[in-house]
Amino acid sequence: MITEPPSSPDHTEIRDLVRDLVATTFTSEKMRAAAASPLGFDEVAWKQMVDLGWSSMALSEDVGGDDLGAYVQCLVHRELGARLAPTPYLSCVALGASALTMLADGRGDDLLTRIGSGATAASLVLSHGRGWAEGSSPTLTARETGEGWVLDGSVGMVLDGARSDVLLVVAPVGDAWGFFEVEARVASVRRTPVPVVDATRSLADISFDATPARCLRDEPVTTAQVSALVDRLAVYLAAEMVGAAASCLRQTLEYLRARHQFGKPIGSFQALKHRCADAAVAVTVAQELAFAAAEMIDADDDAGLRLAAPLLLARAGEVFKDTAEECIQLHGGVGFTDEYDIGLYYKRALVDNELLASPVDAYARMDLVRKETIA
């Protein structure tokens, strides 16, 4: 927005490459067509993204990645968000791969390699639904039988849950958690797509009935580890929200420069200008918070991220929704028609504000961490 966090030549080069490709691949028409297709995304575009290494850029080299870090991956998320690109990138590369990297003890490496190469699409299923794990109520159970682990129960509204090959499940085991891989296309897994207001995102309810699961880690996963995973997911999701908010505002600024009333561009009216200025400042701050948090991931600053991630998720969510609402109003009548994309950004904001944690819940998490930090 007003400031641009990435400033190193490496980062700006990657940003420009990503931006150019996303702009041509996800024009308004193509984005809408992909979202409306049976699969919900454009397979050719997705393959192209994989071929360019976007799905493996942040993975470590021993699983075929480029080890470029979270900051660089956030550049991709931001640009995909800017065009509301319908792709499995968030569910698979951010959520799935992060869970495997952080929770599996080496047993997930084959899967990581396959995610990186685009061979396998994986979705993350948190048995407590969404959000940070402390104090949550799981709706799934995992138990060990003579033939191995099995899962029972259901989880609602899983991102890309209906179209993934593999489900990565965090489920309670005793006082802690287990981390499991489930083959999605088996009879004991029921996946019910739930159409949502934003057609560019795909969600599904999932239930398990004595479903066999492969345990990806011997040691129990602690609640703190699950929450650390959520911290990281929050940053990737926030990067998409920030990109979308900025893009929505940019399109609105273009409209305000072009649309004339009373013989003047409507963007010359101070009442509208000031609202744009406020929105631009809010988006700029959210973007700064997002890339600062991404830097914390790359610097292994877990303590900083614990506080920064919920703050960021709440702010990015609020700012995206507020901006989208403002942009509809600033467009006047056409703002609430389906012919303009502005309404699609609003719908994306509604969905993104629910995916991981609502701003209120993220703030509650932030309060908890702040209390601990100060005490």
CB of 280 to other proteins, least distance (A): 6
Q: Does 222 bind other proteins (CB under 8 A)?
A: no
Q: Does 155 bind other proteins (CB under 8 A)?
A: no
Beta partners for residue 223, in sequence order = none
Q: Does 302 bind other proteins (CB under 8 A)?
A: no
* Residue closer to other proteins (CB basis): 5 or 108: 5
Number of residues binding to other proteins, judged by CB under 8 A:
44
By CB atoms closer than 10 A (0-12, 13-18, 19+), residue 25 is buried
375: CB partners within 8 A, 6+ apart: none
The whole-angstrom separation of Cα 149 and Cα 142 is 7
CA distances from 329 to 83, 249, 276, 315, 320 (A): 20, 12, 11, 21, 14
Q: Does 373 bind other proteins (CB under 8 A)?
A: yes
Q: Does 143 bind other proteins (CB under 8 A)?
A: no
State which of positions 267-286 bind other proteins (CB under 8 A): 267-268, 270, 272-274, 276-278, 280-281, 284-286
Q: Does 3 bind other proteins (CB under 8 A)?
A: yes
CB of 265 to other proteins, least distance (A): 5
CB of 274 to other proteins, least distance (A): 4
CB of 249 to other proteins, least distance (A): 8
Q: Does 301 bind other proteins (CB under 8 A)?
A: yes
Of these, 32, 128, 315, 348, which contacts other proteins (CB under 8 A)? 315
Binding site for other proteins (CB under 8 A): 2-3, 5, 7, 253, 256-257, 264-265, 267-268, 270, 272-274, 276-278, 280-281, 284-286, 288-289, 292, 295-296, 299, 301, 303-305, 307-308, 311, 314-315, 363, 366-367, 370, 373-374
